[in-house]
Structure 1
């Protein structure tokens, strides 16, 4: 009797050890995957990093700028060089950035396969984080742009967007940048809305809902189930 009990205890202990090892391996594998995804995006961000526009060091004083009377001169804003991304993946249409946040990613667009990048990385491999992508009903020339991204628990992708429910965060991060082959557009956050996919308003956000303004809408999961958080930003003319 004692012998059987001892064997049962040994089997239970072995099973617990196996489960512990398996759980530890799964956690390690997931963390490794998350780290690799972050490193891949960091590499892409470095590839398109905005150039530094510091003037060359010289002992001579800089020449005075001249302009015609009544003509205003403004320095051109530096742009990211997106051509390496377009060459590597033709489904990349631009770059999305919210300064001083983790939102700094390429944006994909596949109208014939709308959710292709939901679980796929920039290089076409499986990815839990995916890549932000433009709604299939939109194009880069649309008046309104709707971009989806995952609400990742580690704060990557659109994980930081939930902070916009705090007015202080919204006030500190009002600008969203979206650059395409046509240039760089700036948007200012005008509304933060919590809704769900059953709301007809949600279905219409890529259409004429904002016809009076050109808007950029960032959409991510919120609160579980079909809940959605929308960050609505109006183009700065």
Structure 2
């Protein structure tokens, strides 16, 4: 999606204000999320290898994902985001309406934990500038671990990001992390840079105006 188009999109208000910080009351949901996401990942990996095996062996991080399998589950699954060692390892959804997956899981079912998603009209394979959104879960799932990137040591030890699409694997390295107010998210210099992947989530308790933004640059 063209930068000017989404920077001026009124849907930003919906997306940036819709995040939740979900607490312990969703414990059963956290367990279900982990189980179902793991099952989907294993089913979709054409080479049959798990992410844990790849990380521990130090072998290539380039997975082979079967997007026909993923789209059979839900045609709105357009990609997969993986930040090794952080717990961020999820399908990326693009719905028919902005914010559709704020409260829907990857199967399209109503779910307060939501999904990782991007704007309507985003081409994950080709767009130079990509933004992904997800809830800040107290369990650390979804984008609950992004706040760790505010620590320089953690960021330096977790520099890699992989965005898998039907067109191939896009590789990124850590660029920056910032905690800012909702209205400042797209005032950062990275918002006007090309080849940047931004991951955005809530920065605190429910109703907070703070957001955590982690940026990666394509290599």
TM-score for the superposition, normalised by structure 2? 0.75
Q: Distance in 2 between matches of 1:28 and 1:222?
A: 17
Say if 1:218 and 1:230, in contact at 8 Å, map to a contact too.
yes
Is the CA contact 1:97–1:104 (under 8 Å) kept in the aligned structure 2?
yes
1:91–1:103 CA distance, 2 compared to 1 (3 A): same
Aligned partner of 1:136 in structure 2 is: 120
Q: Paired residue for 1:232?
A: 215
Q: 1:109 aligns with which of 77, 82, 94?
A: 94
Determine which structure has greater relative contact order: mean sequence separation of CA pairs < 8 Å that are 6+ residues apart, divided by chain length.
2
Query: After superposition, what is the alpha-carbon deviation per residue over 1:191-211, rounded to whole angstroms, capped at 9, x for unaligned?
Result: 1121122227359976xx11x
Query: What corresponds to 2:202 in structure 1?
Result: 221
Any gaps of 5 or more consecutive residues in structure 2? 1-22, 50-59
Report how many residues are paired. Answer: 184
Counterpart-to-counterpart distance in 2, 1:195 and 1:217: 14
Structure 1: any 5+ residue segments left out of the alignment?
A: 1-26, 54-74
Separation of aligned partners in 2, 1:136 and 1:203: 22
CA distance in 2, matches of 1:194, 1:228: 6
- For 1:49, the equivalent position in structure 2 comes to 45
SS at match of 2:27: helix
Aligned residue runs from structure 1 range 17-32, under 5 A: 30-32=26-28
Q: Larger C-alpha radius of gyration, 1 or 2?
A: 1
RMSD: 2.6
Q: 1:86 to 1:200 in 2, by over 3 A?
A: closer
